[in-house]
Amino acid sequence: MLEGIIFVAVICAAAAVEAKDLKLSTYALGGVGACLALAFLTFESYFFAAFQLAVVSAIVYVLLLVQKRQKIVRDDQPRSSVWNYLAALAFAGFAGTAFFPALAALPDPLQVKYTETLRTFDVVGMLIVVCVAAVAISSLFKARKHKDKR
Amino acid sequence: MTLLLPLFIVLPLFAACLAGAFFWLKKPGAELLTNLVAAALFAAAVGLYFFRPFNTLMIYDLSGWLPPGGSHLILDGLSHLHILVANFVAWLVALYSVAYMRKYTNRTGYYALLLLLVTGINGVILTGDFFTLFIFLEIAALSAYALVAFGNRRAEIEAAFKYLILGETASLFILIGIGLVYATTGTYDMAKVSQSFPADASAVKAAILVLFLAGFGMKAALVPFHAWLPDTHASAPSPISALLSGVIIKTLGVYALIRILYNVFGMTGQLSLVLMVLSGVTIILGGLLSIGQNDIKRLMAYSSISQIGIIVAGLSLGSPLGIMGGIFHSFNHALIKPMMFFNAGAIYRATGTRDIRKMGGLFFRLPVVSASSIVGSLAISGLPPFNGFWSKMFVIVAAAQTGNLFLAMVIAIGSILTLASYLIFLTGAIFGRPNGEVNERTPWLIALPIVILAGCCFAVGLFVPFISQYLLNPAVVSVFNGTGYGKLMGGN
Amino acid sequence: MISYLGCFGLFMIGLYGVMVKRHIYKIVISVLIMEFAVDSFLVLIGNRKWGTALIVLSATLIAAAIIIRVQESFGTLDADELKELKG
């Protein structure tokens, strides 16, 4: 079950990165987020599954809004240079050799029984992060004009 | 007096909310509020030295008022030094902003973001818990992205975009590392992790260390991960450059890295070697790149990279003198570099350019700025009797003592490169034939923080024994305590 | 084990997007994929409450604002065309 969900998420992610149509790409990203909500559901955290879904919809909504406002439709940029692909490949190889032993040593997700979860303090912290974003956006739009140009 | 610890987080946060309220009501007053809060935090950081018995921990248990779970705020020698420096620089930045930011619109938003940034920095320094560390890291990083973009011209936007992408990638590396820690030990508490990390999980430990090294290395701008630093430092408003260079790369990067490497996982020979190589490359590359720059802020930014290399070099040595040199250099850099960025801002205000080729002969036209630029340049290049000389000497001597003569040589070469790049700045901009126009004299509100910092550079250079006994030694003790950090917490 | 590998793959797809794609919108989407990958990793290892969804949302908001500002000031969304800062 869990493997299936992650597999769908990987397919969605590949589609999101490679799609030429950016609307499709955004919806695919929403699909990745929805898979995450399903993963929460697998572990019977119903409230957090709903919460995750709500946040993902908000993210997709914001991105679509940006697309509509800025008339961003397609990704028609030419391919980047071969070196970028090689760097990505080298990085993947390095990460793979570093992490496969570590991943093998981790416990089976279905057997994990740690009970400690996020503390109220951290949740408050995350709410602060959202406030930061709100102030940041206002500054990005409202601080645009200088009293003098330099 | 442990009640003062949450104050460092709650007070700027509360003030940021107030500033947000001012913002919606379109009322002024955020300027005064920020200055008062920053001054109060600095006073509290100084005051805590009188309430914390020497070489002891101060722990504030958050589970009392925010159940459930046991998150702690911890003040030991290392975090105390960092909280002192961070709030001192933040206060001067707030003071400097009053005059400097007059040219910008939406100043209330600026001050709200600045206060949130201070909240994040203080949280990162004080927390004793991985997940809380990540959250405060994000608070600081997200407000830093917005502050870098604050001028909203092309250069600022480009720098903010690069910073956003690289910074988020770094944060994610750190978060995976934290996840691996949690998967192996079942707790986020640093003290508990240091006590209960299983000895047989070496594959996981290696992966965690690689992730933390990459993540915090990116935040600290060690060389393979330094690409964002020159752009952001050069593009941000000068007070923010000062805060980025003086505080953020050190707390978000070096401080967190050292805390985790020394106190949670324990330093090993291999790790020390990796850090040494990285720092050596960082010193040389940062120094070489700073020589070719014509933009004064970019020159200072590259020199920051080089200095970060020296700090990490000192800390990687693992000997008490090396650690002390590293921490001392971080302390000195936090005094010198904000001053240099304040000077760059004042020069930019007066001449309207940051290009060395378009300025010259500022010495008699901007006397305060020029004098402090000379002080700062000599101090950061490690010339006596300024503070930078002592810390660089400590690191070099420690490197020689531990048998790393090559590293000692690299640091000496790095110092020469730094001196060369600052001499280009001095001969081009401060001395030489008068060139370009100077439109205004330095306002006293801009001169004041610069003079304070220049005075600090002198004073620290003169009172090294005092500084090392009361500020540096406790920090060295807490770093050198290694994983005994967890035992000091009473095993909880 | 297979689900961990899936998470790793998800992260790698995101990282590939960040390194290889030139469209700024795509780069932001790739960063978000990386964030979701890490978040699902946290769910797998037992952090089954809250997650970091709110942080992902905040990063999205700021990134969205920056996308808009990039297009307004540079007139393009090609990351290779951002050449204001060099050296």
| pLDDT value of residue A147 | 45
Question: Which of B286, B219, B362, C31 minimizes the C-alpha distance to A32?
Answer: C31
Q: Which chains border B (3 or more CB–CB pairs < 8 Å)?
A: A, C
Q: Is B61 helix (H, G, I), strand (E, B) or coil?
A: strand
| pLDDT value of residue B50 | 84
Which one has a higher pLDDT value, A126 or B138? B138
| pLDDT value of residue B3 | 78
Phi, psi of B159 (to 5 degrees): -60, -40
What's the pLDDT band for B487 if we cut at 50, 70, 90?
A: low
Q: How many domains does chain A have?
A: 1
Domain segments of chain C as ranges:
2-81
Q: What pairs with residue A21 in β-bridges? A: A74
B177 and B211 Cβ atoms separated by less than 8 Å? yes
**pLDDT (mean) for B450-464:** 92
| pLDDT value of residue B64 | 56
Residue B270's CB is within 10 A of a number of other CB atoms, namely 10
Residue B130: pLDDT above 60?
Answer: yes
**Residue B174 in tokens:** 């750190």
Question: Which of B489, B478, B490 minimizes the C-alpha distance to B263?
Answer: B478
| pLDDT value of residue B27 | 80
Three-state SS letters, A76-115: CCCCCCHHHHHHHHHHHHHHHHHHHHHHHHCCCHHHCCCC
| pLDDT value of residue A144 | 53
- To the nearest whole Å, the CA of A102 is away from the closest chain C CA by 10
> What CA–CA distance (Å, rounded) separates A76 from B445?
51
Model pLDDT for residues A24-81, shown as the tens digit of each residue: 999 999 999 999 889 888 887 788 889 899 999 999 999 999 998 888 888 877 777 8
> What CA–CA distance (Å, rounded) separates B445 from B448?
5
* Cα dihedral across residues A92, A95, A101, A102: positive or negative: negative
Model pLDDT for residues B51-110, shown as the tens digit of each residue: 877 767 788 877 655 544 567 888 888 999 999 999 999 999 999 999 988 888 888 889
Element (H, E) at B72: strand B72-75
> What CA–CA distance (Å, rounded) separates A69 from B212?
39
> What CA–CA distance (Å, rounded) separates A60 from A62?
5
Question: Which of B286, B131, B203, A132 minimizes the C-alpha distance to C49?
Answer: B131
B185 and B223 Cβ atoms separated by less than 8 Å? no
Q: DSSP letter for A69, please.
A: H
**Residue B306 in tokens:** 């080089």
Buried (b) or exposed (e) across A2-40, using 16+ Cβ within 10 A? beebbebbbebbbbbbbbeebeebbbbbbbbbbbbbbbb
> What CA–CA distance (Å, rounded) separates B316 from B333?
18
- To the nearest whole Å, the CA of C51 is away from the closest chain A CA by 8
**pLDDT (mean) for B325-349:** 93
**Residue B258 in tokens:** 């050292």
Question: Which of B10, B6, B88 minimizes the C-alpha distance to B42?
Answer: B88
Model pLDDT for residues B408-435, shown as the tens digit of each residue: 999 999 999 999 999 999 998 888 888 7
> What CA–CA distance (Å, rounded) separates B146 from A138?
9
Greatest Cα pair distance in chain B: 67
Q: Which domain holds residue A46?
A: 2-142
Which residue is closest to C69 within chain B, CA to CA? B157
Q: How many residues does chain A have?
A: 150
Model pLDDT for residues B169-180, shown as the tens digit of each residue: 999 999 999 989
Query: What single string gives the DSSP state of each residue in B128-172?
Result: -BHHHHHHHHHHHHHHHHHHHTTT-SHHHHHHHHHHHHHHHHHHH
Q: What pairs with residue B60 in β-bridges? A: B73
**Residue C59 in tokens:** 């990063």
| pLDDT value of residue B486 | 65
Q: Is B121 helix (H, G, I), strand (E, B) or coil?
A: helix
| pLDDT value of residue A109 | 76
Find the CB nearest C45 among B149, B179, B231.
B179
> What CA–CA distance (Å, rounded) separates A6 from C4?
9
> What CA–CA distance (Å, rounded) separates A47 from A37?
10
| pLDDT value of residue B111 | 92
Q: DSSP letter for B427, please.
A: I
**pLDDT (mean) for B332-351:** 93
> What CA–CA distance (Å, rounded) separates B123 from B16?
15
Place of tokens 């994040």: B120
Q: Which of A102-111, B273-282, B434-443, C70-79 has the highest mean pLDDT?
A: B273-282
To test the contact with chain A by mutation, choose from C45, C60, C81 the residue with the greatest count of A C-beta atoms within 10 A, namely: C60
* Cα dihedral across residues B99, B101, B103, B108: positive or negative: negative
Cβ-Cβ contacts under 8 Å, B71 against chain A: 119, 121-122
B175 touches chain C (CB under 8 A): yes
Residue B160: pLDDT above 50?
Answer: yes
Cβ-Cβ contacts under 8 Å, A85 against chain C: 20
- To the nearest whole Å, the CA of C2 is away from the closest chain B CA by 16
Phi, psi of A139 (to 5 degrees): -70, -35
The B residues from 125 to 144 touching C (CB cutoff 8 Å) are: 135, 138, 142
**Residue B394 in tokens:** 């400590």
| pLDDT value of residue B201 | 78
CATH architecture observed for domain C2-81:
Orthogonal Bundle (1.10)
B139 and B120 Cβ atoms separated by less than 8 Å? yes
In this prediction, does ipTM exceed 0.90?
yes
| pLDDT value of residue B391 | 92
Cβ-Cβ contacts under 8 Å, C66 against chain B: 145, 149, 157, 160-161, 164
- To the nearest whole Å, the CA of C84 is away from the closest chain A CA by 16
**Residue B440 in tokens:** 């205004």
| pLDDT value of residue B492 | 40
Question: Which of B41, B43, B24, B25 minimizes the C-alpha distance to B33?
Answer: B41
| pLDDT value of residue A119 | 65
| pLDDT value of residue A53 | 92
Q: Is A149 helix (H, G, I), strand (E, B) or coil?
A: coil
> What CA–CA distance (Å, rounded) separates B112 from B130?
26
> What CA–CA distance (Å, rounded) separates C55 from B123?
16
**pLDDT (mean) for B335-344:** 94
What's at B111, amino acid-wise? Y
Q: How many domains does chain B have?
A: 1
CATH number of the domain encompassing residue A8: 1.20.120
Q: What pairs with residue B217 in β-bridges? A: none
Model pLDDT for residues B37-52, shown as the tens digit of each residue: 999 999 999 988 888 7
Element (H, E) at B311: helix B296-317
Task: Answer whether B154 sits within 8 Å of C74, measured CB to CB.
Answer: yes
> What CA–CA distance (Å, rounded) separates B73 from B340?
33
- At how many degrees (to 10) do helices C24-44 and B154-185 cross? 20
Model pLDDT for residues B265-285, shown as the tens digit of each residue: 888 888 899 999 999 999 999
What's the pLDDT band for A149 if we cut at 50, 70, 90?
A: very low
> What CA–CA distance (Å, rounded) separates A56 from A32?
9
A83 touches chain C (CB under 8 A): no
* Start-to-end CA span in chain A (Å): 59
Which one has a higher pLDDT value, A90 or A98? A90
**Residue A142 in tokens:** 């409202």
Q: Which domain holds residue B100?
A: 4-488
What's the pLDDT band for A150 if we cut at 50, 70, 90?
A: very low
Task: Answer whether B66 sits within 8 Å of A120, measured CB to CB.
Answer: yes
B359 and B436 Cβ atoms separated by less than 8 Å? yes
Residue A96: pLDDT above 70?
Answer: yes
A149 touches chain B (CB under 8 A): no
Model pLDDT for residues C12-46, shown as the tens digit of each residue: 999 999 989 889 999 999 999 999 999 988 888 87
Task: Answer whether A136 sits within 8 Å of C61, measured CB to CB.
Answer: yes
What's at B24, amino acid-wise? W
What's at B427, amino acid-wise? T
C13 and A10 Cβ atoms separated by less than 8 Å? yes
What's the pLDDT band for B159 if we cut at 50, 70, 90?
A: very high
Model pLDDT for residues B349-377, shown as the tens digit of each residue: 888 888 888 888 888 888 899 999 999 99
What's at C62, amino acid-wise? I
